[in-house]
Amino acid sequence: MPLHPDELKRFQELDDEALMALFQQEGSEAAYTVLVRRYKSPITNFLYRFVGNYDDALDLAQETFIRLYRYKHAYRSAQRFSTWLYTIATNVARTFYQQRQRRATVSFSALSPDEEGEQHEWEIPDSSYMPDTRVDSTYLAQRIQRALMQLPAVFREAIVLREIMELSYEEIAEVMQTELGTVKSRINRARQRLQELLRDVYEELYGSATQQP
């Protein structure tokens, strides 16, 4: 998507919402290109942490930007652009993940609401998952990614948006289209689960994870 340098400079000074308005109302390809350049890295990163495979993440990131192009008229100017884009990416990732998990997932949702009354599918952890060394080259990064992949999808989604993408709780609630309380609960439980899964790594590095009396 080649752009004239002057045009690029002019568009780069605009914020996301202004660019989106230009793209939405005037069909400005330049505005779209600047948005793609601005968000391709965060979106790819979010998707990689969610699906755990670099090639899939790149493909899904492209799918996200195609949907942005296709459904530009669905954007409301009162909405924050980044939140809207993460919502698209989350939906893309969920669809992909559900298709991949369908063969290995057993649904007990009707039988097992959790203590918050929230029903979700119990997923069989993918023990065969191998971290992608093109991204995670260190042992620590590989262990963390493996632990992330062992979380249920809704927990992983929440913890990645909070701890890696650094979104606020309110933004996460908007992205995940759920209540603020549910988001906090999911993040909390995801942290607890990660602590269980990664305790041995910490202890290898620093000794006991709990303070000695």
Which residue's CB is nearer to another protein, number 123 or number 136? 136
Under rule CB under 8 A, residue 129 binds another protein:
no
Contacting residue, 70, 74, 113, 181, with another protein by CB under 8 A = 70
Which amino acid is it at 9? K
Under rule CB under 8 A, residue 45 binds another protein:
yes
Region near another protein per CB under 8 A, out of 63-71, 100-108, 120-128, 174-182: 63-71
Integer-rounded Cα Rg, in Å, for the chain is: 19
Under rule CB under 8 A, residue 166 binds another protein:
yes
Under rule CB under 8 A, residue 202 binds another protein:
yes
Return the closest-CA partner of residue 75 out of 63, 90, 60, 86: 86
Under rule CB under 8 A, residue 200 binds another protein:
no
What are the angstrom distances between the C-alpha of 150 and each of 7, 97, 123, 130, 175?
45, 13, 9, 12, 22
By CB neighbour count within 10 A (0-12 exposed, 13-18 middle, 19+ buried), where does 64 fall?
Answer: buried
7 φ/ψ sector (left φ>0, alpha ψ -120 to 50, else beta)? alpha
By CB neighbour count within 10 A (0-12 exposed, 13-18 middle, 19+ buried), where does 210 fall?
Answer: exposed
Under rule CB under 8 A, residue 28 binds another protein:
no
Residue 9 Cα to chain centre, angstroms: 29
Q: How far is the CB of 91 from another protein (least distance, A)?
A: 17
Phi and psi at residue 126, to the nearest 5°? -85, 95
Which residue's CB is nearer to another protein, number 35 or number 153? 35
Q: How far is the CB of 163 from another protein (least distance, A)?
A: 4
Region near another protein per CB under 8 A, out of 65-73, 84-92, 95-103, 168-176: 65-73
Classify residue 212 by its DSSP letter: P
Under rule CB under 8 A, residue 85 binds another protein:
no
Within 10 angstroms of residue 196's Cβ, the number of other Cβ atoms is 11
For another protein, the binding residues (CB under 8 A) are 1, 33, 36-37, 40-41, 44-45, 48-49, 54, 57-58, 61-62, 65-66, 69-70, 135-138, 140-141, 144-145, 159, 163-164, 166, 191, 194-195, 198-199, 202, 206, 209-211
